[in-house]
């Protein structure tokens, strides 16, 4: 509808250029906006105010000339001039209803296009680190990402949807250490839990899975685990040195194979949980 109104205004400007009311080389930018108050019509333009200098005319006088030059249209019920020279358009009911027939005729194809020309496009979304279950914020990202991907597909792009699994780095090592400490708890070994470890109930569940699989075979003395590790200071920088030292000891004492098993126990169970959540969410 805005395009049709812009076309009517362009015709009016061309007419005023032809009769000398406006310079014949003028190429105005036409801005149409929805009115804030429906009593002022449906759309409004400040065209007369932007062209009054070129026309050497008062804005309201120029607005009257523009309105007089606008071609008749069965989409426009009324045109009014308001304030210093705003031109307000009120549309006919038919103008609002015509899109309904277009939608019904097009059916499921309404709104679709081929502007993407089957070009490949990747959309990465959610991509939460697999250190814990998804939360509501991740769900919001999932909804936005899936909708963006669907819209791009609807206009002709070949969309690849990706969840980037960042299963490496310090945060994953902190998860592995947290799982191992819960494993020790379930084996009856009391070990202090780091203030910046992962403390959710899901870590207990993973530790229990590890304990069911290996019993007490992977238990190490707390003194060995904490050898040379700075004390945990929740309010200071020592808490970072504490967790890093604990991770280093854990890797050394367990060895590559067993440490990787602890690491994968956390990773795989959390990823399975994430996949199930996204499946139930329809993503």
pLDDT in tens, 217-237: 999 999 999 999 999 988 877
- Name residue 44's beta-bridge partners: 33, 88
pLDDT tens, residue by residue, 110-148:
999 999 999 999 999 999 999 999 999 999 999 999 999
Which residues of the chain are in CATH 3.30.1360.70 domains? 2-93
pLDDT band at 24 (very low <50, low <70, confident <90, very high): confident
Q: What is the reported pTM?
A: 0.69
pLDDT at 172 over 80: yes
At residue 39, does pLDDT exceed 90?
A: no
Which of 33-42, 146-155, 199-208 is predicted with the least confidence, judged by mean pLDDT?
A: 33-42
pLDDT above 90: percentage of residues in the chain: 90
Integer Cα distance of 16 and 56 in angstroms? 13
The CATH class, in words, for 2-93 is alpha beta
CB of 142 within 8 A of CB of 117?
Answer: no
Average pLDDT value for residue range 51-69: 94
- The chain-wide mean pLDDT, for the chain, equals 95
Crossing angle (nearest 10°) for helices 59-69 and 47-55: 110
Q: Please report the DSSP string for the chain in residue order.
A: -HHHHHHHHHHHHHHHHHTTSS-TT--PPP-EEE-SSGGG-SEEE-HHHHHHHHHTS-HHHHHHHHHHHSPP-TTEEEEEEETTTEEEEEE-HHHHHHHHHHHHHHGGGTT---TTTT-EEEEE-----TTS---HHHHHHHHHHHHHHHHHHHTT-EEEEE------SHHHHHHHHHHHHHHHHHTT---PPPTTS--SHHHHHHHHHHHHHHTTTT---HHHHTTTPPPP-TTSTHHHHHHHHHHHHHHHHHHHHHHHHHHHHHHHHHHHHHHHHHHHHT-
Dihedral of alpha carbons 252, 257, 258, 261, sign: positive
In the prediction, which pLDDT does 237 show? 74
Long-range contacts of 75-82 (CB under 8 A, 24+ apart): 75/1, 75/4, 76/5, 76/8, 78/41, 80/40, 80/41, 82/40, 82/44
Least confident range from 28-37, 134-143, 168-177, 206-215: namely: 28-37
Long-range contacts of 255-258 (CB under 8 A, 24+ apart): 258/218
| Sheet bearing 32-34, strands edge to edge | 32-34, 43-45, 86-91, 76-82
pLDDT of residue 158: 98
Beta bridge partners of 81: 87
Q: What's the rounded mean pLDDT across residues 20-26? A: 87
pLDDT at 191: 93
Asked whether the predicted pLDDT for residue 201 surpasses 90, the reply is yes
Q: Looking at the predicted structure, is the pLDDT value of residue 47 above 80? A: yes
CB 178 within 8 A of CB 140: no
| Residue 84's pLDDT band (cuts 50, 70, 90) | very high
């Amino acid at each position: 509808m805005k395009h049709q109104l812009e076309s009517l205004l362009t015709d009016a400007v061309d007419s005023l250029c032809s009769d000398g009311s406006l310079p014949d080389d003028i190429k105005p930018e036409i801005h149409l906006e929805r009115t804030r108050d429906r009593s002022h019509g449906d759309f409004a333009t400040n065209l007369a105010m932007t062209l009054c200098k070129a026309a050497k005319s008062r804005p309201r006088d120029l607005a009257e000339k523009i309105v007089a030059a606008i071609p008749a249209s069965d989409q426009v019920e009324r045109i009014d001039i308001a304030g210093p020279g705003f031109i307000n358009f009120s549309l006919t009911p038919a103008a609002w209803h015509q899109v309904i027939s277009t939608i019904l005729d097009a059916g499921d194809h309404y709104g679709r296009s081929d502007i993407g020309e089957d070009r490949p496009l990747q959309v990465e979304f959610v991509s939460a680190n697999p250190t814990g279950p998804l939360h509501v914020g991740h769900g919001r990202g999932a909804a936005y990402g899936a909708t963006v991907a669907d819209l791009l597909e609807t206009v002709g792009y070949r969309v690849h949807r990706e969840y980037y699994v960042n299963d490496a780095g310090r945060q994953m090592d902190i998860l592995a250490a947290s799982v191992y400490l819960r494993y020790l708890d379930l084996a009856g070994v009391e070990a202090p839990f780091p203030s910046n470890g992962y403390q959710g109930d899901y870590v207990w569940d993973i530790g229990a899975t590890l304990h069911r699989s290996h019993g007490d075979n992977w238990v190490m003395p707390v003194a060995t685990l904490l050898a040379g590790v700075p004390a945990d200071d929740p309010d200071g920088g020592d808490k970072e040195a504490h967790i890093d030292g604990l991770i280093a000891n854990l890797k050394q004492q367990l060895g590559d194979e067993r440490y990787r098993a602890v690491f994968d126990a956390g990773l795989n169970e959390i990823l399975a949980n994430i996949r199930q959540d996204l499946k139930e969410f329809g993503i």
